[in-house]
Amino acid sequence: MYEERPSRLAGAVVWTNTPSAAPGALPVLPDGCMDLLWREGRLLVAGPDTHAHLHEGPPASWAGIRLFPGTAPALLGVPAHELRDRRVELSDLWPAPEVRRLTGRVAAAAYPALALEELALERAAPPDRALRRLVAALAAGATVSETADELGLGARQLHRRSLASFGYGPKTLARILRLQRALALARQGVPYADTADRAGYADQAHLSRDVREFTGLTLGALLR
């Protein structure tokens, strides 16, 4: 069973996922975020996804903190594009003695998700206000060009900063945030054609193509 709550770290979400009797595992969909994860005594990092990720192997309990888009690289000390579509051990990014210490700390905690949140709170960098404005604007449906103009950033500068912060360029980020906007509407029961229009797609077929490209599923199958 999956549960989440807002974190004390601005924009982040703390979550847990325990095996259930329900058939099939749900894919993790692209959302512009990166996660710090705990699974069976291991600290891992989930990089930014460009397609649905389905965990392989036997069912296991997970805990994690999903960091606000663009904030994880400053915390981890690694550009986001180096982790795109990857799941890596934290020890691949940080010194092994430090990771062993943190692993022991999380393992000893009554609630690993809370321990992950504390770790993130201790190491988080001050928010990059320009990047937060970029995410907010794109999530609301603004175009990349008008957002770049508003921020006073040239196309190359914006692309370079986006790669380092989000793992991909601003146009891909905009498409992923638009997909999340559409899924939120569809889950509320909004008809698909209206969902496409309200989320900013040209038509329902455009929505269907993006859903298939990013998730490998149809919208109906994804919602079921």
Average of per-residue pLDDT values in the chain? 94
pLDDT digits (tens, 9 = 90+) for 136-152: 999 999 999 999 999 99
What one-character DSSP code corresponds to residue 82? G
Q: What's the confidence (pLDDT) of residue 22?
A: 53
Q: What's the confidence (pLDDT) of residue 25?
A: 64
Q: What's the confidence (pLDDT) of residue 26?
A: 73
pLDDT digits (tens, 9 = 90+) for 91-102: 999 999 999 999
Token duo for residue 167 = 């793992």
Does residue 65 contact residue 12 with C-beta atoms inside 8 Å?
A: yes
What one-character DSSP code corresponds to residue 78? S
Give me the mean pLDDT over the 18-32 stretch: 76
Does residue 174 contact residue 182 with C-beta atoms inside 8 Å?
A: no
Q: Are strands 87-89 and 2-6 parallel, antiparallel or unpaired?
A: unpaired
Print burial letters for 122-139: b (CB count within 10 Å at least 16), e (below 16). Answer: eebeeeeebbbebbebbb
Secondary structure class of 58 (helix, strand, coil): coil
Q: Cα–Cα distance between 48 and 214 in angstroms, integer?
A: 13
Choose between 20 and 44: higher pLDDT: 44
pLDDT greater than 90 at residue 55: no
Q: What's the confidence (pLDDT) of residue 132?
A: 93
pTM, to two decimals: 0.92
